[in-house]
Amino acid sequence: MGKVSVSLAADHTRSDARIDTLILAAQRRAPVILLAGEGYALLPWKLGCAYAVLGWYWVSCTWYEAEPCADGVEAPEGRSWFHRLKIRFDWINTQGTPWWFTKGAPLPVKIPISQLILPLTPPPDSPTPSVETNHDGEAVRNAVWRRAPARNIGPSPFDDLYFSPLEIHRGKRYPGDHLLANFHPDPPPARPWLHAGQRCPSCLNYSPRLYREGWICLVAECIQFWLLSTTVGLIPISPSMKLRYDETFLRVIPTPYDAASLPYNIVPPPPSSSPQAEGTGEAGSRSLWRGFVCSCGRSNCRYRWERLSCRACGQHSAAQTDSDVVRASAIQSDKADPLGEADEGSPDIPMSVRRMLNPCATVIAYELPQAGTVYHVMHDHVEFADAIWEAYQRAAIHTSASTPLFQRRALKSNTIKGQLLSQQFAINSGASYKYIVETLSYPFADSPDCVMDALMVIRKRVAAVLGEAVDFNEILSVMYREGQKMSWHDDGEHGLGPVVAALSLGSPATMSFRPKASIKVHRGGGLALSGGVNPSQPASVLNLTLSHGDVVIMSGRAIQYGYDHRVIPSGLRVAATARVIRASPE
């Protein structure tokens, strides 16, 4: 396979938030963290993982170079090149020696891995931890600044270019401003390459000498930009000419005073191991699905429910115990209006309300136009749900050490290198169910009792509401922690039956329905192809608040073809969704 080359299709300008943020970082000398990706061609060693966190750096110089337009790319008017922003990053030396550098040679990565899924960071006990701000840090920063050569405060040819030959003064604000607003630079650090430059006779701006071959004006708007100054005059720099950086430019320079203080430790603290995390009193804190940095230096996503586990070295934290189970009595019930509602501007959905006596429950039916009916079953008593709720948590805790039941699995994607995990911890039981996540599937006989109890409840409620039994042969159990959700999707995979039903356990959640982007709902009750102003983001036509023990039934295959739905929990939650899956589509 040939090597893929990447070229510009437009100038690098400050209208791009990424470019603007980097220039602001240079202007204000704000520390930035650099990552090295596995595919970065200039790395001097084999990385062996998706990316590595190199550490904190400051931007010591920015400038523009001319990059020839690639074949087939439309060139800017009046020239055959684009302006590419180049950036020099310097190590912030209050971190000590770079963790990846030892005795003048790069540190080889020795941890073998089989998949590009985990990044690398400095181990917490590495010799170069980030420096926390304290009283002693002030003395350290002063010492760093004093080591820099003294600078004459009087006028000089580059006083207005204290961080680069770029013009930095502007009246309007750009997208990256708020990210760097707290950094205010001191006088600029000494950079020897600036003294080797000269003022351009055409634009009268000062440009440093960065290349061995000679001086070049680096002001992109100048007519002399990117022309090499020689003894015989100015000559164009051809694409085949390989410029070399000047030795003076490659020298290490001290970290300036105002860049020496690091905003935070590059290695985050370990996440909490308890469902009642961080003293918030809320079940299933967001910290319980945060990634962590192992003592071996590898950063890991949390893919198991019950413990932290490093896929590089195999180390893991202690598993949760029964004392970590969140009791049903701790669940905060939602006192909101049980009736569903639509977003502003959406047509009203016909609805009806009735009571059931066995079991005692209120059933609200919502008619989605020319698609089917959504039933919301709200029970008077939820003791049955309390037992299933706690049983799910125990099943997740008392799982196999080698193959945990509830995992965050990899999403199917052709655009992302490596793996991106789903937000939910899930297990599938019964028939195999293939959707955007490849979830582990177990036969009913090998599934936890809580799964089968949830399936029994769903079957009974569907029979009571629809008046006929539905022989569900698959159930997907999903466990959510704070901040996790199920984004817009449908259950329209090939072979699925017309009825899909779900039991909601734990914290309240909002379930929303919206027509697909190609569909528009008319107030008269019909569906048509959408021609709206923003068809890619149609409004929700139905929003339901699902409480502990509620059951939702979607009856009608056309619901999955004409509508998407999503679920946003407010905290720790379990959802069990049952389907009928046939071997082949009808």
Q: Percent of the chain at pLDDT above 70? A: 70
> What is residue 190's predicted lDDT score, i.e. its pLDDT?
63
**pLDDT average, residue stretch 177-184:** 47
CA separation for the pair 578, 37 (Å, rounded) = 41
In a domain, 90, yes or no: yes
- Whose structure tokens read 């003048």? 104
> What is residue 235's predicted lDDT score, i.e. its pLDDT?
93
Q: Are both 252 and 377 inside the same structural domain?
A: no
> What is residue 319's predicted lDDT score, i.e. its pLDDT?
74
Among 259, 292, 316, identify where a domain stops.
259
Q: Which tens digit of pLDDT belongs to each residue from 428-462?
A: 899 887 665 666 788 999 999 999 999 999 999 99
In a domain, 291, yes or no: no
> What is residue 329's predicted lDDT score, i.e. its pLDDT?
84
Q: Are both 254 and 390 inside the same structural domain?
A: no
- From the list 559, 552, 537, the residue with the least C-alpha distance to 368 is 559
For the full predicted model, state whether its pTM sits above 0.85: no
In a domain, 440, yes or no: yes
**pLDDT average, residue stretch 390-406:** 82
In a domain, 183, yes or no: yes
- Specify the range with the lowest mean pLDDT, choosing from 153-157, 241-245, 427-431, 474-478: 153-157
Give the type of residue at 511.
M
**pLDDT average, residue stretch 17-26:** 94
Q: Are both 252 and 351 inside the same structural domain?
A: no
> What is residue 457's predicted lDDT score, i.e. its pLDDT?
98
> What is residue 547's predicted lDDT score, i.e. its pLDDT?
94
489 is in an annotated binding site: yes
In a domain, 215, yes or no: no
CA separation for the pair 290, 272 (Å, rounded) = 9
In a domain, 194, yes or no: no
Residues facing residue 352 across a β-bridge: 365
Contact call for residues 552 and 377 (beta carbons, < 8 A): yes
Kindly provide the b/e burial profile for residues 335-373, where b requires at least 16 CB atoms within 10 angstroms of the residue's own CB. eeebebbbeeebeebeeeeeeeeeeebebbbbbbbebbb
Which CATH number covers residue 358?
2.60.120.590
> What is residue 75's predicted lDDT score, i.e. its pLDDT?
87
Residue count of the chain, please give it: 586
> What is residue 412's predicted lDDT score, i.e. its pLDDT?
66
> What is residue 1's predicted lDDT score, i.e. its pLDDT?
43
Instruction: Report the Cα 4 to chain-centroid distance in Å.
Output: 26
Q: Are both 179 and 89 inside the same structural domain?
A: yes
Q: Which tens digit of pLDDT belongs to each residue from 37-57?
A: 888 888 877 877 888 899 999
Average pLDDT of the chain to the nearest whole number = 77
> What is residue 519's predicted lDDT score, i.e. its pLDDT?
61
Q: Are both 252 and 352 inside the same structural domain?
A: no
Domain count, the chain: 2
Give the type of residue at 439.
T
Residue 312: pLDDT band (50, 70, 90) is confident
Among 259, 285, 307, identify where a domain stops.
259
In a domain, 228, yes or no: no
Give the DSSP letter string of 58-119. Answer: EEEEEEEEEEEPPTTSPPPTT-SEEEEEEEEEEE-GGG-S-TTEETTEEPPP----SSTT--
Q: Which two tokens stand for residue 211?
A: 């290349």
> What is residue 23's predicted lDDT score, i.e. its pLDDT?
94
CA separation for the pair 535, 543 (Å, rounded) = 19
Respond yes or no on whether the N-terminal peptide bond of residue 359 is cis (omega within 30° of 0): yes
- From the list 466, 471, 504, 464, the residue with the least C-alpha distance to 358 is 464
Cβ within 8 Å of residue 260, ≥6 positions away: 92, 93, 94, 137, 140, 141, 144, 145
CA separation for the pair 328, 506 (Å, rounded) = 7
Give the DSSP letter string of 348-407. Answer: PPPEEEEEEETTEEEEEEEEETTTEEEEEEEES--HHHHHHHHHHHHHHHS--SSS-SSB
Q: Are both 253 and 400 inside the same structural domain?
A: no
376 is in an annotated binding site: no
> What is residue 26's predicted lDDT score, i.e. its pLDDT?
92
Q: Are both 254 and 373 inside the same structural domain?
A: no
Q: Are both 558 and 441 inside the same structural domain?
A: yes
Q: Select the more confidently predicted residue: 288 or 562.
A: 562
Q: Are both 428 and 536 inside the same structural domain?
A: yes
> What is residue 145's predicted lDDT score, i.e. its pLDDT?
29
Cβ within 8 Å of residue 168, ≥6 positions away: 23, 26, 27
Residue 174 pLDDT > 70: no
In a domain, 447, yes or no: yes
> What is residue 148's predicted lDDT score, i.e. its pLDDT?
31
Q: Are both 253 and 346 inside the same structural domain?
A: no
Domain around 252: 17-189+247-259
**pLDDT average, residue stretch 154-171:** 39
> What is residue 401's predicted lDDT score, i.e. its pLDDT?
67
- Specify the range with the lowest mean pLDDT, choosing from 142-151, 378-387, 418-427: 142-151
Q: Is the dihedral of CA 178, 179, 182, 186 positive or negative?
A: negative
Among 259, 282, 304, identify where a domain stops.
259
